[in-house]
């Protein structure tokens, strides 16, 4: 992980080499360790140290970008030349008023945990060994991964803006499997490794793998009340981020936000925001253009608020930037990297008890969110713990089921949310993830059993 002094020295050389009307640069360094396990055995421990620099230049109103992982003067000069050449062959930016230059103070947020930074592979292996031993007592074997990382993120521009932050991150996924092919799943991420609680995840996955053993049923396709846990919602919101929340999706008309700003599409119980300031989530103080992060409502008490935007697309659309540039010059032009779904006042047990006939889903798999972006129509399957609820009780395990559902319609049929929420990571996002409650949705469309 690069220090603030090291980072700013590299960024200063990059901005000097840019030789452009305006320029900005972002430098990210990552030191991570991941322990992978299968059959209740730790089979791979991998550590990686990496760093990357992205330089963006504005020349005669056009933008060019280039990246490198080598920071000597000759390579930085070559990167700057590539960025200038790209700008020469790019169209002028529409309505662009320039790079960020307001220098607002950053929010003070807890992003770094020394204990997580110092957690050794041996320390993780010790906890995994305890989890494996407990699993054998329940006749389950575990597979999954346990990651910890430290990172530095720095950005600077030709207007004198300089930002730097250090962050820790921990993420674990545990799958419990039995010889009869039943399985359970649990996952959690956090800035602090102790909050991930790998032993607790093992117990949770085991409970899902052993629930309703010997009681299996199959159902006919149809609409059922459904209880979705946070990992299932995280899969859906990864797609929602791409097809609905970004500046590009809004500008090209594919987002259901278009023509719906200020309109109600869901009940008062639905509030979704991009919130990097929530201390219970995965806090981070700025985006890669240097803008201070703030809470950005996406849907507030059922009413559509607006997309997330980088500075360039905010100018293009005559809207206010939302500090959501996570890649300089990203084609998404803003991404919601801290999707925060507000909770309710129920418990999961209360949601189950209130269900006459329904399906409890641990997580989704093989989701396709491109069927019809304007209604967020998606399809996918359930996995690692799908249960039938009858008269308020879990009565049987179900096979993995296929579903096809408009998420916009589903948001309008949410009947309950838990107070407890869970942080779930996303594969593309080192800054944040999703935090969500367990939700009960009326009339979710299941179309059949997953094909083998």
Whether the Cβ atoms of residue 84 and residue 57 lie closer than 8 Å to each other: yes
What pLDDT score does 450 carry?
Answer: 79
When pLDDT is cut at 50, 70 and 90, the band that residue 90 belongs to is very high
When pLDDT is cut at 50, 70 and 90, the band that residue 49 belongs to is very high
Average pLDDT, the chain: 97
Is residue 132 domain-resident? no
Crossing angle of helices 4-18 and 73-88, in 10° steps, is 50
Residue 204 in this model has a pLDDT that exceeds 80: yes
Is residue 409 domain-resident? yes
Residue 63 in this model has a pLDDT that exceeds 60: yes
Integer Cα distance of 365 and 384 in angstroms: 9
When pLDDT is cut at 50, 70 and 90, the band that residue 451 belongs to is low
Residue 426 in this model has a pLDDT that exceeds 80: yes
Residues 153, 240, single domain; the answer is no
Mean pLDDT in residue range 14-43: 97
Is residue 205 domain-resident? no
For the domain that residue 56 is a member of, what is the CATH number? 3.30.2290.10
Is residue 24 domain-resident? yes
Residues 392, 313, single domain; the answer is yes
Tokens for 256, please give them.
Answer: 């259901």
Residues 266, 164, single domain; the answer is no
When pLDDT is cut at 50, 70 and 90, the band that residue 30 belongs to is very high
Is residue 114 domain-resident? yes
Residues 34, 88, single domain; the answer is yes
Is residue 85 domain-resident? yes
What pLDDT score does 452 carry?
Answer: 53
What pLDDT score does 13 carry?
Answer: 98
Residues 246, 385, single domain; the answer is yes
What pLDDT score does 220 carry?
Answer: 96
Residues 163, 68, single domain; the answer is yes
Residues 157, 234, single domain; the answer is no
Is residue 311 domain-resident? yes
Integer Cα distance of 422 and 3 in angstroms: 31
**How many domains would you assign to the chain?**
2
Residues 100, 249, single domain; the answer is no
Mean pLDDT in residue range 106-124: 96
Q: Is 91 exposed, middle or buried (0-12, 13-18, 19+ CB in 10 A)?
A: exposed
Is residue 10 domain-resident? yes
pLDDT, tens digit (0-9, with 9 covering 90-100), for 367-402: 999 999 999 999 999 999 999 999 999 999 999 999
Residues 285, 348, single domain; the answer is yes
Residues 300, 433, single domain; the answer is yes
Residues 91, 163, single domain; the answer is yes
**Which range of residues forms the domain containing residue 93?**
4-122+149-174
Percent of the chain at pLDDT exceeding 70: 100
Residues 164, 289, single domain; the answer is no
């Amino acid at each position: 992980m690069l220090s603030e002094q090291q980072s700013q020295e590299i960024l200063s050389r990059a901005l000097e080499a840019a030789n452009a009307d305006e320029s900005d640069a972002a430098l990210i360094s990552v030191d991570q360790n991941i322990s992978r396990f299968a059959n209740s055995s730790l089979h791979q421990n991998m550590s990686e140290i990496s760093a990357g620099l992205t330089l963006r230049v504005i020349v005669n109103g056009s933008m060019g970008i280039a990246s490198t992982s080598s920071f000597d003067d000759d390579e930085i000069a070559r990167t700057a030349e590539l960025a200038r050449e790209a700008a020469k062959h790019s169209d002028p930016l529409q309505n662009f008023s320039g790079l960020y230059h307001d220098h607002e103070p950053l929010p003070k947020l807890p992003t770094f945990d020394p204990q997580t930074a110092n957690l050794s592979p041996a320390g993780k292996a010790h906890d995994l060994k305890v989890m494996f031993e407990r699993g054998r007592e329940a006749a389950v074997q575990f597979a999954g991964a346990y990651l910890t990382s430290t990172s530095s993120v720095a950005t600077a521009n030709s207007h004198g803006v300089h930002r730097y932050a250090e962050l820790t991150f921990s993420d674990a996924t545990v799958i419990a499997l039995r010889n009869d092919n039943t399985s359970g799943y649990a996952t959690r991420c956090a800035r602090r490794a102790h909050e991930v609680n790998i032993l607790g995840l093992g117990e949770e996955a085991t409970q899902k793998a052993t629930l309703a053993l010997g009681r299996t049923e199959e159902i006919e396709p149809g609409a059922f009340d459904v209880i979705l846990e946070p990992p299932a919602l995280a899969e859906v919101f990864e797609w929602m981020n791409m097809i609905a929340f970004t500046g590009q999706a809004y500008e090209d008309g594919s987002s259901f936000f278009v023509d719906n700003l200020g309109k109600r599409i869901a009940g008062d119980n639905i509030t979704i925001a991009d919130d990097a300031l929530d201390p219970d989530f995965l806090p981070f103080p700025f985006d890669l253009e240097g803008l201070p992060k703030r809470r950005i409502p996406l849907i507030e008490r059922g009413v559509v608020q607006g997309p997330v935007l980088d500075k360039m697309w905010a100018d293009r659309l005559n809207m206010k930037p939302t500090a959501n540039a996570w890649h300089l010059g990203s084609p998404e032009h803003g991404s919601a990297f801290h999707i925060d779904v507000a909770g309710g006042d129920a418990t999961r047990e209360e949601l189950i008890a209130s269900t006459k006939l329904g399906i409890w889903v641990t997580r989704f798999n093989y989701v396709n969110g491109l069927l019809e972006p304007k209604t967020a129509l998606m399809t996918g399957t359930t996995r690692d713990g799908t249960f039938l609820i009858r008269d308020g009780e879990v009565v049987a395990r179900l096979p993995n089921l296929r579903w096809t559902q408009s998420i916009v319609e589903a948001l309008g049929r949410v009947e309950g949310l838990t107070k407890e929420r869970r942080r779930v990571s996303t594969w593309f996002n080192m800054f944040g993830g999703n935090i969500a409650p367990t939700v009960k949705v009326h009339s979710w469309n299941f179309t059949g059993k997953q094909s083998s």
